[in-house]
Structure 1
C-alpha cells in the first residue's frame, strides 16, 4: 500500500508510532496485502484484455487523450500491485528479513535495500496514478471548455512523471539522510517525505471534484447551446457523464481516505510521551483498524478504477492475432449510426472522426459544430427514432 510509514519502517531507528503499527501481526498484514494486491492484479488485467466485439465497419477509432490517460492510470495501478505482491510474498516467505533491519547489524544491507526498493516502487507508481487522475480531470475540462479536440498528452507525461520522480526522490533523500542505516530522528526530518506522499493524493481529493463539477456545467451549456433546446437525450448524456465522474471520485475516496485518517492518528500518537499509555487505547485500536483497511483497499484501486471507468467488461476474452486489439473500453464508443450505449460518459472518451464530421457538414452546407459537441455526440448513440 502507499503509506510513508513503510519507507520509515526501513530505518533501523524508526519512531515509536511506526514501530507500533508495523510490528502488530506483520505476517497477517502481509498476507492480507498480498491477497488483495493479487486479486486486484488479476481482475484489472482481465479488464484490460481484449474482448470479443461485434465487427464494426469503417476506419478504426483513434483513442482520445482522455482514454489514454485512463489506460495509463490502470497500468500504474497494475505495476504498484505487482510490487505489493512481491514485497508481501518475500516478507511472508522470509519472516526473519524484517528482524535483520536493525541498528546493530549495519553490515547486512540487503534487507534494507529490498525494503527501500520495494517501498519506492510502490510509492512511485501510486503517486503517478494520483497525478494521472488529476490530469484526467484537467483534460476533460479543457476539452469541453476550450472546445478542443486535441489535448497535449506529451505535456501530461512530462508533468506527471517529472513531478512523481522529483517528489519521491526528494522525500526519500530527506528521510534517509545521511544514510539508510542511520536515519535521523524527529518529525522535522520525516515531514518532507510525508508531504511529498500526500500532496498528490490531497490534490485529487480537493481539486478533481471542482474540475468535474465545472466540466458537467460546461457540458450542459454546450448541449443547450447547440440547438437551443435541452431534450431528454441531452439530459441523459449529461447525467451519464456526471455519474461517471462521481464513480471515479467515489473509488478514490474509498481507497485513500483511510490513509489520511490513519496518518492523522499516528501523528497524534507520535506527539504523545508514551504511545502505549492506557488512555490512548482507543486511538491505537483505530489506527490498527485503518491500517488493515488500507492493506485491503489501497491495492484494490486498480480493479475498482476499471469498473468506474467503463464497467465490467466480461470474461469473453479474444486472443486472436488477426483482429484489431482493442482496449476493453473501446465499446464505450460506437459509430454515428450506432445505438445508445449506456456506458457513463462515453462521449468524453473519444475524439475520433471529429474532423470527418466537420468536413461532411461543411460539404452539405451545414454549420460546423464545436469540437466539444462533436466529442460529446461521438459515441453517445443518441439516435432519433424514425
Structure 2
C-alpha cells in the first residue's frame, strides 16, 4: 500500500542504527498482519490482472476500432492510456509484494537504502496511476470534441509524479542525514505530496466525465440527428463506466485520507486499534486497484454477451478483437449508426433529420 509513513519505518528496521519506533503509525505499519494482508491482496490483484489480459480465442482478429463519425469513446490513444494506467498499477503492486516478502522474511535486517527505494518505487507508480486517470478523461474529452491532442499526455502523466517523488526524496534527506523521515514539516510535505493528488483526482475526474457525457450527447444529436432509446442506452453505459471509475478510486484511496486525518488528533496514541484497522483496510484496498481498474477499463471477459446479442455485435464490428469487444461502451457507440439504419423506434426524443425532411417536403 502507498502510505508515506512507511518512509519513517526505515529507521526502525535497518541494520546499523537503532531507530525510534515509538510513533503510533510506525508501530502499526511494522505489524506482521498488515504485511500479510498486503501480500495476499497484492498477489490476488496481480493474478487477476494477468487473467484479464490473457489472449482470448479471437485474439487473432485485428485490434482496430471503427473510424466512423460515431466513434466517441474509442481509439488507439485511449487504449494506450489504459495500458499505461494498468502497467503503473501492476508495477506498484509488485513493489508492495517485494516489500511485504522482505519484511516478513527478514523483519529486523532490511537495509535502509532498500527500504527507501522500494517505498519510493511504490509511491511513484501509484502517483502515476493518479495522474493517468486524469489523462484518460482528458483524452476522451479531446476525442469527443475532435480537438488536436499530442504527446502532452505523457508530460501530464509522468512529470508531476516525478516532481513529487523528487520532493519526497529531498524531504527524506533533509529530515535526517541518515535518510530517516522524522516528525516535522518534512514529513508533512511528504504526506501532502501523496494526499493532495488523491484529493485533486477526486475533484477533477467527476467534472471531466460530466463534461464528456454532455459532449457525447451533443455529438450524438449533431451526427445522428436524433436522441432516442438506443442513444440513451449508450449514454447510460458511458455514465455507468465513468461512475464505476470514480467509485473504485474512492474505494481504494479513502482509507489513506482517513489515516492521514487520524494523525492530526493529539490523542492518537490512544487509538492504536483504530490505526491498525485503517492500515489493514489500506492493505486491502490499495493493491486491489490494479485488478479493479483492469475490470472497469477493459471489461470482464464474456461480459459483452450479457448486455447485447453476440451475433449482432460480431456482424457489426467484424474487425474488432476481444479486447475491443469487452469494452461494450465503445462497441455500442461504434455500431450505433448501423443499428439506426434498421431501427424500428418510432418515438425518439429528438429527431432533427425527420423534422428537416418534413419541412422540405
Name the CA shift for 1:245/1:308 in 2 (closer, same or farther; >3 Å).
same
| Equivalence for 1:80 | 92
Matches within 5 A, 1:8-47: 8-11=8-11, 12-13=19-20, 16-23=23-30, 26-47=31-52
Rounded to whole Å, the distance in 2 between the matches of 1:53 and 1:180 is 57
Is 2:298–2:326's contact at 8 Å kept on the other side of the alignment? no
CA deviation profile, 1:267-293 (whole Å, cap 9, x unmatched): 32xxx2x643xxx44xx3322211100
Is 1:13–1:182's contact at 8 Å kept on the other side of the alignment? no
Q: Offset of 1:219 from its aligned partner?
A: 0.9
| Equivalence for 1:194 | 191
Q: Does 1:223 align with 2:179?
A: no
Q: Offset of 1:337 from its aligned partner?
A: 3.0
Rounded to whole Å, the distance in 1 between the matches of 2:200 and 2:284 is 23
Q: Offset of 1:15 from its aligned partner?
A: 6.7
Rounded to whole Å, the distance in 1 between the matches of 2:34 and 2:58 is 41
Give me the TM-score of the superposition, normalised by structure 1. 0.73
Q: Offset of 1:155 from its aligned partner?
A: 1.3
| Equivalence for 1:346 | 330
Rounded to whole Å, the distance in 2 between the matches of 1:59 and 1:285 is 50
Q: Offset of 1:381 from its aligned partner?
A: 7.7
Q: Determine which of 212, 230, 233 is the counterpart of 1:233.
A: 230
Rounded to whole Å, the distance in 2 between the matches of 1:309 and 1:381 is 24
Name the CA shift for 1:381/1:40 in 2 (closer, same or farther; >3 Å).
farther
Give me the TM-score of the superposition, normalised by structure 2. 0.78
Name the CA shift for 1:2/1:180 in 2 (closer, same or farther; >3 Å).
farther
Q: Offset of 1:231 from its aligned partner?
A: 1.6
CA deviation profile, 1:340-380 (whole Å, cap 9, x unmatched): x6844326xxxxxxxxxxxxxxxxxxxxxxxxxxxx84255
Name the CA shift for 1:74/1:182 in 2 (closer, same or farther; >3 Å).
closer
Q: Does 1:95 align with 2:107?
A: yes
Rounded to whole Å, the distance in 2 between the matches of 1:181 and 1:54 is 52
Q: Does 1:147 align with 2:135?
A: no
Partner secondary structure for residue 161 of structure 2: helix
Q: Offset of 1:307 from its aligned partner?
A: 1.1
Is 2:255–2:278's contact at 8 Å kept on the other side of the alignment? yes
Q: Determine which of 276, 281, 294 is the counterpart of 2:282.
A: 294
Rounded to whole Å, the distance in 2 between the matches of 1:193 and 1:257 is 18
Rounded to whole Å, the distance in 2 between the matches of 1:54 and 1:193 is 44
Matches within 5 A, 1:173-322: 173-177=170-174, 179=176, 181=178, 183=180, 185-268=182-265, 272=266, 275-276=268-269, 280-281=270-271, 284-313=272-301
CA deviation profile, 1:131-165 (whole Å, cap 9, x unmatched): 10111111112221x223x632x211122212111
Partner secondary structure for residue 174 of structure 2: coil
Is 1:335–1:378's contact at 8 Å kept on the other side of the alignment? no
Q: Which runs of 5+ in 2 are unaligned?
A: 12-18, 67-74, 303-309, 319-324, 344-361
Is 2:39–2:97's contact at 8 Å kept on the other side of the alignment? yes
Q: Offset of 1:235 from its aligned partner?
A: 0.9
- The structure with the greater share of residues assigned to helix is 2
Is 1:65–1:151's contact at 8 Å kept on the other side of the alignment? no
Q: Offset of 1:313 from its aligned partner?
A: 1.9
Is 1:76–1:129's contact at 8 Å kept on the other side of the alignment? yes
Is 1:36–1:300's contact at 8 Å kept on the other side of the alignment? yes
Is 2:46–2:290's contact at 8 Å kept on the other side of the alignment? yes
Q: Offset of 1:185 from its aligned partner?
A: 4.2
Rounded to whole Å, the distance in 2 between the matches of 1:245 and 1:233 is 19
Rounded to whole Å, the distance in 1 between the matches of 2:301 and 2:181 is 49
Q: Which runs of 5+ in 1 are unaligned?
A: 99-110, 315-330, 348-375
Rounded to whole Å, the distance in 2 between the matches of 1:346 and 1:182 is 49
Q: Offset of 1:130 from its aligned partner?
A: 0.6
Matches within 5 A, 1:118-133: 118-133=118-133
